[in-house]
């Protein structure tokens, strides 16, 4: 950036020096954050509490579902990064305490530095016993499948392997029954061909509380018997 601050090459050197310092500071903070969350997970695990991660793309309704399952009142928004740090809260599911994690939403084509910045959140998914992945049923079928494919790729890359997956097709109160039936079929077909482990698709409306009891029941059964299909 010659001419930056009217100092030619000197300003360029100063600019990149400041950027390197900033990156080093962020990296150091992230290391501390990861270690703190690792210790928190160990503490939760030592108490015998299973963990369920609520994952998926931005605006799929993850925080709304988190609030419903935990009686929480986290802010819900339409913009990216409304959830900028994973929130963890316990709730009773069929008499058993379960720790739910509301994670940062996946976004398309995330730059490498942003992926690293949010890796601490993704670790919460990897360490969970079960993931509930939300999809927005109001979107075009091609977009639904594209986001499902991308989400599975992200989860595979971060190491969520050999564990059950619940795909919650959310916002079903906003679409017709025939449209819902069609989207359920294509999602199930995609999972049959692309997810090697146990899975279940459940149509829900987190906002209208549709099928929430069914979702809780399936969560409970998977936590009790993670290798069985329901």
> Do residues 136 and 170 lie in contact, with contact meaning Cβ atoms separated by under 8 Å?
yes
Confidence of residue 23 (pLDDT cuts 50, 70, 90): low
Is residue 93 scored above 60 in pLDDT?
yes
Q: Nearest 10 degrees: CA dihedral of 5, 6, 9, 14?
A: -20
Higher-scoring residue by pLDDT: 160, 203: 203
Task: Tokens 């963890």: give the residue.
Answer: 88
Q: Which fold has domain 49-224?
A: Rossmann fold (3.40.50)
Between CA 222 and CA 66 the distance in angstroms is 18
Residue 104 falls in which region: left (phi positive, over 0), alpha (psi -120 to 50) or beta: beta
Is residue 124 scored above 90 in pLDDT?
no
End-to-end CA distance of the chain: 59
pLDDT at 84: 47
Arithmetic mean of pLDDT, 141-156: 93
pLDDT at 44: 58
The CA radius of gyration of the chain, in Å to the nearest whole number, is 20
Arithmetic mean of pLDDT, 187-193: 97
Query: Strand 165-170 and strand 199-203: pairing?
Result: parallel
> Do residues 162 and 197 lie in contact, with contact meaning Cβ atoms separated by under 8 Å?
yes
> Do residues 127 and 163 lie in contact, with contact meaning Cβ atoms separated by under 8 Å?
no
In the chain, where the domains are located: 1-47, 49-224
- Per cent of the chain over pLDDT 70 is 70
Query: Strand 87-93 and strand 96-102: pairing?
Result: antiparallel
User: Both tokens of residue 2?
Assistant: 């010659």
Q: Kindly report the backbone phi and psi dihedral angles of residue 37, in degrees, each rounded to the nearest multiple of 5, phi listed first.
A: -70, -30
pLDDT at 104: 73
Higher-scoring residue by pLDDT: 58, 215: 215
Average pLDDT of the chain, as a whole number: 82
Task: Give me the residues paired with residue 93 across strands.
Answer: 96
Tell whether pTM > 0.75: yes
Is residue 79 scored above 60 in pLDDT?
no
Task: Tokens 């928190």: give the residue.
Answer: 40
> Do residues 90 and 72 lie in contact, with contact meaning Cβ atoms separated by under 8 Å?
no
Q: For the segment 33-67, what is each residue's pLDDT rounded down to a tens digit? A: 666 666 665 665 656 789 999 998 888 999 999 99
Between CA 152 and CA 154 the distance in angstroms is 5
pLDDT at 227: 61
Q: What is the DSSP letter of 186?
A: H
């Amino acid at each position: 950036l010659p001419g930056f601050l009217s100092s030619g090459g000197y300003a360029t050197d100063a600019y990149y020096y400041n950027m390197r310092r900033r990156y080093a500071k962020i990296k150091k903070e992230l290391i501390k954050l990861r270690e703190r969350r690792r210790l928190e997970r160990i503490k939760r695990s030592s108490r015998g509490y299973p963990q369920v991660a609520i994952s998926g793309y931005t605006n799929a309704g993850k925080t709304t579902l988190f609030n419903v399952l935990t009686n929480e009142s986290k802010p819900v928004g339409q913009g990216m990064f409304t959830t900028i740090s994973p929130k963890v809260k316990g709730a009773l599911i069929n008499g058993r305490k379960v720790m739910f994690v509301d994670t940062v939403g996946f976004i398309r084509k995330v730059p490498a530095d942003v992926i690293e910045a949010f890796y601490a959140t993704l670790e919460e998914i990897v360490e969970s016993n079960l993931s509930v992945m939300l999809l927005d049923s109001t979107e075009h079928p091609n977009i639904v499948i594209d986001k499902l494919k991308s989400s599975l790729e992200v989860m595979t890359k971060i190491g969520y392997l050999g564990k059950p997956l619940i795909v919650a097709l959310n916002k079903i109160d906003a679409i017709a029954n025939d449209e819902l039936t069609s989207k359920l079929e294509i999602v199930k077909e995609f999972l049959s061909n692309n997810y090697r482990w146990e899975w279940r698709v459940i149509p829900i409306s987190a906002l209208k509380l549709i099928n929430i009891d069914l979702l809780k029941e399936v969560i409970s059964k998977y936590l009790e018997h993670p290798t069985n299909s329901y």
